[in-house]
Amino acid sequence: MTYLHEMHAPARLDRRPAARRAAAVVPAQNEERTIGAVLRQLRRLPLDEVIVVVNGSRDRTAEIAAAHGCRVIEIAGSLGHDVGRAVGAALADADICLFTDADIIVPAEDLAPFLRAVEDGVDVALNDLDRIIALPHRRHVVTLAKTFLNHVLDRPDLGLNSLTGVPHALSRRAVETIGWQRLAVPPVAHAAAVLAGLRVRAVHPVNVAARNRVHRYDSPTRLPIVLERLILGDHLEALELVKAARGARGGREDTLRQRAQMEAIVARARELWEAGAGPAPEEPRPEDRPPTRRPPQPPLRARAAPQRFAVRARQPARPARAPGRGSDRARGAAQRAHAPLLPRAAVGTGDAGGGLARIRGAHPHGAGHRTSGVTDLAGRARWTGWDLVLIYLVSQIGLSAIIGLIAFFGLRSGVAEGELRRLVLVLAYLVSSPFLLGVEWLWLALRRAADEVRALYRWPGRTALLAWGLAGGLAVKFLSDGVTYVESRFWPHIEQNNPLVTDPSAFRDPLVLAGLFLAVVVAAPLAEELFYRGLLFEWLRPRGWWPAALGSSLLFGAAHFSLTLLLPLSVTGLGFAWIYARTGSLVTSTLAHAVFNGVALAATLWSLAV
């Protein structure tokens, strides 16, 4: 199966015939900000259909999904993501079902391994979180519950991986064996898959915590109490399933305890005591026993009446199958029996904007044509390596042209050479970052990549913002100063190209200092983080985290045109890349960059004043 229309690394492209039908199921609720970017990544995969289960939404999520050519089930009430996945799995007519969420933008390169694994024979392909979650987060009660369930199922190799996490993929055999109804409780479905002997594997790591648009909790180790109780209850249900299949002890022997002999031992001891070995202990009379207090019981809750959902179809009728596909797959008896439980919806496969029916079509520029970068619906690159080169060249050439014109007209008007040099220096220092930022936004607007760029600035949460933004910026500054100090020990005669130090007289004016603060602490972090971490790092990311981090950091250091500052600034860029990767948001890395520049500017001005 050709899993992607375009890949960043040729070695990862797997060109095999698409012998099996594949579908994606995306539950969504008020996700109009990210649903478009999520569907664009899915369109890069050879999917025969994409089913979006929109429930409880009050925004344009359903309209956006329908405009992207998806089968949309819109439900007025809130179902929850797990129920949405179960409904989508029941309605999917495919041999492979891929599940992801509408609020997590996962690149197609990270989704393709799940399809590939199922096509190679795996029944349940899981997200390999064991390779991502650090040791401190493994102590959380939910993580411990998932690990414990896998040990009870005699699958310790799965670690903390289960169907609770997305993305994951299931074969049609797995859906029919587990029962699509059980997918509404992921740990129960996970236990059913293992108990049935299906092939369950953790196939690929995807850091969904870093990519999540909104963290609904302050820390990765603190879930809301409602969600925590929900997941723990799910695992209790899964344990009940294990007990029903393997017995009360889950198939574990009780060989070290001879509980069956307890009654005989007590009876024999009483006989010996009665025969003269001593008085036998008497059973306390009921009236002599101390009163016991029953723990307070929670009040019984009245069972809520079933909610009636209003379902609206969002699509035209389903088109005819491609030749050779045959008739629709007959559903199993269990699915037909539960068909009345599904919401009433006349769903089709709308084909606006290109349609899923043409996902397998040839590239518009011919067979074998490949580009790199993030793609839109039609397969055009959102941004490529050439885009990054052109953004940088246009910004540098345009800035040089502006400064050159100012210098030319300044000389013709009779401005003194020293004053003109200081003017050019101030302009170059103040205008370079805002100019680069303007070129970036203009270029990305022309490429229609607003959704992808907007997703880079997802809100990371207050705790992450303070911990990674403020504290991270100070830590990176401390690390960079340490590298500078070590470098100065080996190269004591380091040239200083900071214009604040080489020509401080040009920055005496208060207005110039105010502009300098805005340029260094505001514009520079915005422009440089968007270019080096947002665009360059994300473009290199499919090649691996370290190649992306090292490549973007080295170019960040080299862009300052100072050989002596190359190593410290490269280490600085590596720190910012780490902060961005850990939080999944440019907001935190931009704040850390602003803190870094603010501390450096304050230290420089203080040294000049002293």
Looking at per-residue pLDDT, the higher value among 43 and 545 belongs to 43
Q: What is the pLDDT of residue 601?
A: 84
What pLDDT is recorded for position 87? Answer: 95
Kindly indicate the confidence band of residue 295, based on its pLDDT and cuts at 50, 70 and 90: low
Say what the pLDDT of residue 420 is: 64
> Which range is most confident: 20-34, 205-219, 311-325, 573-587?
20-34
Between CA 486 and CA 538 the distance in angstroms is 31
pLDDT (tens digit per residue) in 20-49: 899 999 999 999 999 999 999 999 999 999
Top mean-pLDDT range of 65-69, 286-290, 317-321: 65-69
Average pLDDT, the chain: 75
- Judged against a pLDDT cut of 70, whether residue 221 lies above it is answered with no
Residue 460: pLDDT band with limits 50, 70, 90: confident
pLDDT at 430: 72
Confidence bin at 431 (pLDDT 50/70/90): confident
pLDDT at 269 over 70: yes
SS3 231: helix
Give the residue-averaged pLDDT of 70-83. 91
Query: Residue by residue, what is the 3-state secondary structure of 109-125?
Result: HHHHHHHHHHHCCCCEE
Report strand pairing: 381-383 vs 311-313.
unpaired
pLDDT of 364: 31
Q: pLDDT exceeding 90 applies to what percent of the chain?
A: 33
pLDDT of residue 62: 94
Angle at 483 between CA 482 and CA 484, to 5 degrees: 90
Whether the pLDDT of residue 136 is over 60: the answer is no
Which run of H or of E encompasses 75?
strand 71-75
Q: Which has more confidence, 17 or 139?
A: 139
Asked whether 206 and 127 are in contact (CB, 8 A), the reply is yes
Quote the CA–CA distance of 403 and 378 in Å, as a whole number. Answer: 40
Q: Tell me: pLDDT of 317 over 50.
A: no
Alpha helices in 185-295 (DSSP H): 186-195, 208-211, 225-246, 262-272
pLDDT band at residue 607, thresholds of 50, 70 and 90? Answer: confident
How far apart CA 399 and CA 559 sit, in angstroms, is: 15
For 146-164, what is each residue's pLDDT tens digit? Answer: 999 999 999 998 988 999 9
Residue with tokens 């862009």: 559
Per-residue pLDDT averaged across 241-261, rounded? 86
Decide if 100 contacts 111 (C-beta within 8 A): yes
**Between residues 269 and 133, the one the model is more confident about:** 269
Output the pLDDT for position 504. 58
pLDDT of residue 172: 95
Residue 418 has pLDDT above 70, yes or no: no
Check if the beta carbon of residue 48 is closer than 8 Å to that of residue 21.
yes
What does the pLDDT look like over 379-393, one tens digit per residue?
333 577 788 888 888
pLDDT confidence of residue 350: 36
Q: What is the pLDDT of residues 89-126, one digit of tens each?
A: 999 999 999 999 999 999 999 999 999 999 999 999 99
Residue 316 has pLDDT above 80, yes or no: no
Round to whole Å and give the CA distance between 11 and 167. Answer: 23
Distance CA 426, CA 422 (A): 6
Q: For residue range 372-381, what is the model confidence (pLDDT) as tens digits? A: 333 332 333 3
Return the higher-pLDDT residue of 236 and 489: 236
Q: What is the pLDDT of residue 455?
A: 75
Cα–Cα distance, 10 to 14 (Å, whole number): 9
For residue 8, what pLDDT is reported? 30
Which range has the worst mean pLDDT, 21-30, 140-149, 291-300, 451-460? 291-300
Question: What pLDDT shows up at residue 330?
Answer: 38
Neighbours of 232 (CB within 10 A): 15
Task: Convert the pLDDT of each residue in 548-592 to its tens digit.
Answer: 889 998 988 888 777 778 888 999 999 999 998 888 889 999 999
Q: What is the pLDDT of residue 323?
A: 42
Cα separation, 45 vs 168, in Å, equals 15
**Whole-angstrom distance, CA of residue 461 vs CA of residue 308:** 35
- Confidence band for 493, pLDDT divided at 50, 70 and 90: low
CA 332 to CA 528: how far, in whole Å?
A: 55
Q: Could you write out the DSSP letters of every residue in 371-430?
A: --SEE-TTS-EEE-HHHHHHHHHHHHHHHHHHHHHHHHHHHHTT--HHHHHHHHHHHHHH
Element containing residue 168 per DSSP (H, E): strand 168-171
Q: List, in sequence order, every residue forming a beta bridge with 272; answer none if it has no partner.
A: none
Cα angle value 517/520/523 (rounded, 5°): 105
Asked if residue 11 has pLDDT above 70, the reply is: no
Is residue 594 within 8 A of residue 473, CB to CB? The reply is yes
- Burial, 209: exposed, middle or buried (Cβ in 10 Å; 0-12, 13-18, 19+)? middle
- DSSP secondary structure string for all residues of 426-452: HHHHHHHHHHHHHHHHHHHHHTT-HHH
Q: DSSP assignment of 589-602, as one string?
A: HHHHHHHHHHHHHH
Residue 387: the pLDDT is 81
Query: In whole angstroms, how far apart are CA 296 and each of 293, 299, 460, 508?
Result: 9, 9, 41, 73
